[in-house]
């Protein structure tokens, strides 16, 4: 039950992050820059969704040992965001 209580605010943060990303588009010059900005913003929202989804799945499954790999999704989203930030900073 505690996992579900933790998951709900994390998923709401993900919704707020996605909403802000869609509401305030960042102007980019080329198609490559636009792609990098889109991936950067999507990975920001995806991090919160994956983090909240991990807690939600951990709280709802009876045997959560099978979904331990799901904890790597937020790490992957953070790495993707870092990679796109580095690529954007070099342009």
Dist. CA 63–CA 32, nearest whole Å: 43
- Digit-by-digit pLDDT tens for the chain (91 residues) are 888 899 999 999 999 988 988 887 777 788 888 899 889 999 999 999 999 999 898 888 888 788 888 889 999 999 999 999 999 998 7
Q: In the chain, which residue ranges form alpha helices assigned H by DSSP?
A: 2-23, 31-60, 72-89
> What is the per-residue pLDDT across 11-37, written as a single tens digit (0 to 9) for each?
999 999 889 888 877 777 888 888 998
Domain spans in the chain, listed from the N-terminal domain onward:
2-89
pTM of this prediction?
A: 0.83
Closest CA to 47 of 23, 15, 20: 15
By the 10 Å C-beta count (0-12 exposed, 13-18 middle, 19+ buried), 5 is classed as exposed
């Amino acid at each position: 039950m505690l996992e579900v209580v933790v998951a709900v605010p994390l998923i709401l943060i993900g919704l707020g992050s996605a909403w802000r990303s869609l509401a305030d588009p960042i102007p980019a010059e080329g198609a490559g820059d636009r792609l990098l900005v889109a991936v950067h913003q999507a990975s920001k929202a995806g991090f919160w969704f994956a983090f909240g989804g991990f807690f939600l799945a951990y709280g709802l499954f009876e045997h959560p040992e099978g979904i331990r790999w799901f904890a790597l999704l937020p790490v992957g989203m953070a790495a993707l965001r870092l990679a796109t930030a580095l690529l954007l900073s070099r342009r």
